Structure 1
């Protein structure tokens, strides 16, 4: 890889996914982390369906699911009882469909999650540089000069000054990048809620459930980390005052557990990590300052309730990644990067509202008559997250262009696919004129290019679309023609990267389009529908919004 153009400070999920998108577009990247070893612990273990869909396109989903568990119900106990008094599903199981093949969340310890992402990133010639801390930076109109402190295996430090075109801070809630930019971190700290979190081996609890005890002002929650069921994460809320300024040990937690629950049948091993936790609900009001960006926890922190944090962070990275790649390649104006905050801040603000409300139902109300344990609801799957009102997205005719709820289901007429929302999947697509195995849209979508799906019409109506695409730089967009079984002819292939027969009808049905009429759906590299149009003019207008003028 040539001299890095982008410095990513912080190698959590946001940093890793950003590096993934950039390397898919051959952008030289350096990703650093101040820790001298990779972090351990489950931390953000929930992986929502929208993230699973993105991982399918990135090619990492199979490895993620191989070790992941499912989001199991919560068993609620009275002290001393072995049988729960109630079980509450955190999220209702949904059957997969052709257009939503991953409707249910998965759970995987974050350290294992990151390990899988690092392994795939290494295949793109990018590895995490440990023991490298961004200490400060200076930016100009042309570059960012970073001061990096590197710590060797023997603990000795050395200073390096390096120049990059762009800097992205994915360095957590205490972000050095955010602090040096002087950005506000608006919100509040909930000092009334005290918690201890950690992971430890557990014997005697069914890994098919989360397990919860709520007694007075105290709450203990234990959940299995993955399908092995050997290690559980715990949350202990309402700690005794003498633990306020120090983390519990494994023995301390076991003692508190036995006092609270009366369950002497449960055995604990040594914790792999334990940490006190204070709930912060904060976000920035901008995610870009010149050549410097923020993503993930550096830009927003919130309650873990609802499992939105890690998922929102990787969606930040996906949104920024393809835009930064186009600008770096000289194909798009710098102004495209302003749409990163334009699209994401609205989503993050809504997400903070949802997770805060969820937290108030549980953590905040422990020991009160208002305490309740309820399911997350379908909204937490993140399949309805949208960028309504974005200045670069062309919404379908008749759609209301102003902003609306960032987590609300689309309202396309007759179930028609709608711009600003996720692009549905469709399996059983046969490459026309070949003996190739069937494919699916999630395998067709490309994190390094727009995918232009062309439905229906005839050669005369499709021709102008291909002509319009021919006027943009090769590699920016890839045209794919979708036809019914037996409808493809050799002449159809001209100008298309692929011609697929939708023999089972999943694509036409899932996108709500008719084979008689031409419909063009432009899918962005982050899996968001950027355009729904019935003509080549819409295609030209869309790419004029995001690319440099020819």
Structure 2
């Protein structure tokens, strides 16, 4: 097998997305998973709007959307009643806008989600090596040697292979984290949650169904419209069942005891799991010779535990989404380093940027868990709402050393999940979409910014100004790492014919309006490969200052 630059251990959504980002950047990868077969189970099924935007930029969104549905209503019952006693709106449907085309979460069972991502990887010539597990690793100044054991029909084969980088996306029970001797800092509580995917007859699959008799809570979540496979979730927040590991039959007994619904029957179980409530993330470690990077860790090493570094309540559907956003943040930086365009010090900012986001995510999921599962609220239903911060559209990197913020806001106290609230484009926040862009000199179909943004390069958007000021910016861009886009205001279709930029007319007016731009003065918006605004500059010097933070 040819050598690969990066070994990815773990083929969940985080590992698959990281592989896609790196492969699109021309970085060779090898992705292994210790399971002999691809995992089944709906597991984490909520894909939040910000993750949908990243999937749009990555080019995988169409098949993700085809594979799931929006968030339905939840109906709640009391014991013995067949008719619901009320409904809970999990998420208000938000009408798409030009700058936010994906404002609503999408529900896709995780096994289906992973299958979609694997299909895109196969198109890039990458397949998952199942039955392959990391046994140990040995660190060197410029590489890491991984000992991998592969189990197949012929038995076990052990190999030692050298990689430039090793990334652990193998989850909360990470082998990579254990090999590095890293420990979680946080708390493990007595309560736990039991999950199973099970065939259910007698329940409407168009809704989620909930019974709540504190300290017990049970709900059924359908795998999709017209599907009779539901995820059954049960928890007891008392200590009575703290050490209990449930079987299928015991969970069915709990259902009947709580509901008295003998009209509901159960078929086969396809997946069953117990989750001990934990809220934790990696702390600092004491092995400076280990070549490893992760939030909250020293930034000078080469083995990177990614989603293996935070564990928390599933309330709010933040875990899978945080892991995907982790690796998109990491992926473009690792690609620039691997291609020799950026110093390894750029990887320090993975920790710097994601740590504060994960810290608030842990608090958010803990608060939601208390409201949902323990009833720690005057209105227990409010914990189920999936709007606002949960959608993750406000996740930002304010205060990052590589984000060129306005002097007025740099260093200000900004929460990692907050929206900019500025009414105009601002560095450190998501770059909005804008449809209705038409290539000057072409009669082709209109395009939009999310179709132009790329995980492979920075996108430099030029608004306003004249040919002279724009030419100065274009002439000083690092050509190997950027794509320049000149956005002409609505109605303007002529400019310097020799411009090296992609020239688009903002025919629908959404780009200038959504970004709060003026026609009579130059503004340059630099969009990072992860769809975050890295800088808003007014001249070539401002653009150069930003790229000096990024590139070698």
Kept after mapping to 2: 8 A contact 1:520/1:532? yes
What is the CA–CA distance in structure 1 between the aligned matches of 2:309 and 2:144, rounded to whole Å?
Answer: 20
Q: Does 1:536 align with 2:540?
A: yes
What is the CA–CA distance in structure 2 between the aligned matches of 1:456 and 1:90, rounded to whole Å?
Answer: 42
The 1:57/1:542 distance shift into structure 2, 3 A limit, reads same
Q: Alignment partner of 1:532: what SS?
A: strand
Q: Give the structure 2 partner of residue 174 of structure 1.
A: 173
What is the CA–CA distance in structure 1 between the aligned matches of 2:418 and 2:115, rounded to whole Å?
Answer: 33
Q: TM-score, normalised by structure 2?
A: 0.94
What is the CA–CA distance in structure 2 between the aligned matches of 1:417 and 1:312, rounded to whole Å?
Answer: 23
Q: Give the structure 2 partner of residue 327 of structure 1.
A: 337
Q: Alignment partner of 2:493: what SS?
A: coil
Q: Give the structure 1 partner of residue 273 of structure 2.
A: 275
Kept after mapping to 1: 8 A contact 2:467/2:495? no
What is the CA–CA distance in structure 1 between the aligned matches of 2:233 and 2:362, rounded to whole Å?
Answer: 20
What is the CA–CA distance in structure 1 between the aligned matches of 2:120 and 2:221, rounded to whole Å?
Answer: 28
Residue 190 of structure 1, CA deviation: 1.2
Q: Give the structure 2 partner of residue 478 of structure 1.
A: 483
Q: Give the structure 2 partner of residue 203 of structure 1.
A: 201
Stretch of structure 1 that moved more, 165-174 or 230-239: 230-239
2:475 to 463, 467, 470: 467
The RMSD of aligned alpha carbons is 1.9
| Correspondence list, 1:15-34, <5 A | 15-34=15-34
Kept after mapping to 2: 8 A contact 1:280/1:302? yes
Q: Does 1:315 align with 2:321?
A: no
C-alpha distance after superposition, 1:445-495 (max 9, x if no partner): 0111000011111101111110111xx2x3310000111233122525512
| Correspondence list, 1:73-112, <5 A | 73-112=73-112
Q: Does 1:454 align with 2:452?
A: no
Q: TM-score, normalised by structure 1?
A: 0.94
1:295 to 306, 311, 315: 306
1:358 to 364, 368, 390: 368
Q: Give the structure 1 partner of residue 520 of structure 2.
A: 516
What is the CA–CA distance in structure 1 between the aligned matches of 2:173 and 2:433, rounded to whole Å?
Answer: 38
What is the CA–CA distance in structure 2 between the aligned matches of 1:31 and 1:289, rounded to whole Å?
Answer: 23
Q: Does 1:230 align with 2:234?
A: no
C-alpha distance after superposition, 1:328-379 (max 9, x if no partner): 011100100000000001100000000000001121348x988555313311
Residue 243 of structure 1, CA deviation: 9.7
How many residues are matched? 537
Q: Which runs of 5+ in 2 are unaligned?
A: 285-293
Residue 256 of structure 1, CA deviation: 2.3
Q: Alignment partner of 1:79: what SS?
A: coil
Kept after mapping to 2: 8 A contact 1:285/1:345? no
Q: Alignment partner of 1:405: what SS?
A: coil
C-alpha distance after superposition, 1:254-287 (max 9, x if no partner): 3321221011222222111011221111101361
What is the CA–CA distance in structure 2 between the aligned matches of 1:225 and 1:535, rounded to whole Å?
Answer: 52
Q: Does 1:5 align with 2:5?
A: yes
Kept after mapping to 1: 8 A contact 2:215/2:374? no
Q: Give the structure 2 partner of residue 284 of structure 1.
A: 282
Q: Give the structure 2 partner of residue 438 of structure 1.
A: 446
Kept after mapping to 2: 8 A contact 1:282/1:300? yes
Residue 397 of structure 1, CA deviation: 5.1
